[in-house]
Amino acid sequence: MFDNLKIIHYPDPRLKQPSAPVAEFNENLRQLVARMFELMRQAKGVGLAAPQVAQNIRLFILNATGQPEDDRVYVNPFLSEAEGDEEAEEGCLSIPGLSVNVSRSKHLRIQAHDLQGNPIDQKASGYLARIWQHEFDHLNGTLLTDRMGPVAKLANRRLLRELEEKYASEHPASPPKKPPLKDKRAKSR
């Protein structure tokens, strides 16, 4: 059923949509998650959020070690008790080739449900907490491009431009919209 699912790339507008909570823990959801793990492994990623496969629901998966027993599923996650700040390099399967420094909370608590609907309540620091925050961002339509400072934006201008052109050539019916001139004028006032 989800065989045709694939990872969508920047600037696909579906990546910018906030996702809706998961209402049912059913076979559909299990099949979706199984396919997401397949795609994440193929792409050699450590995390993947449902909107990255064009499913706008609040769910992400991760595997921080590459060991099968470390597969994790978080449904309807909630992050709290953020403490400290730490900067480190991040990439994103939806923005191939991009690698930027992002500041994230160092310590974090996550509350969510697993694939069976059982409650999850965990705390983590460092790398795992960083993956939670990156994937959680996806559920709110926030991408690394939104977390980049002006220097990183300038440094990666060409890469992002190339991705935009690739997307436009693959989606000729719906080119990315540019803001009308009127808006631009209003903004600069």
Q: Which residue numbers are catalytic? A: 135
Beta carbons within 8 Å of 175's beta carbon, 6+ residues apart: 168
SS3 at position 176: coil
Residue whose CB is less far from Zn ion, 33 or 92: 92
CB of 187 to Zn ion, least distance (A): 28
- The residue of the chain with the least Cβ separation from Zn ion equals 92
Q: What is the DSSP letter of 66?
A: S
Residue whose CB is less far from Zn ion, 57 or 92: 92
Name the site residues for Zn ion (rule: CB under 5 A): 92
Q: Are 85 and 100 in contact (CB under 8 A)?
A: no
Residue whose CB is less far from Zn ion, 92 or 108: 92
Residue whose CB is less far from Zn ion, 97 or 117: 97
CB of 120 to Zn ion, least distance (A): 21
CB of 76 to Zn ion, least distance (A): 19
CB of 135 to Zn ion, least distance (A): 7
What is the C-alpha separation between 154 and 30, in angstroms, rounded?
41
**H or E stretch at 86:** strand 72-90
Return the structure tokens found at 74.
């978080």
Beta bridge partners of 117: none
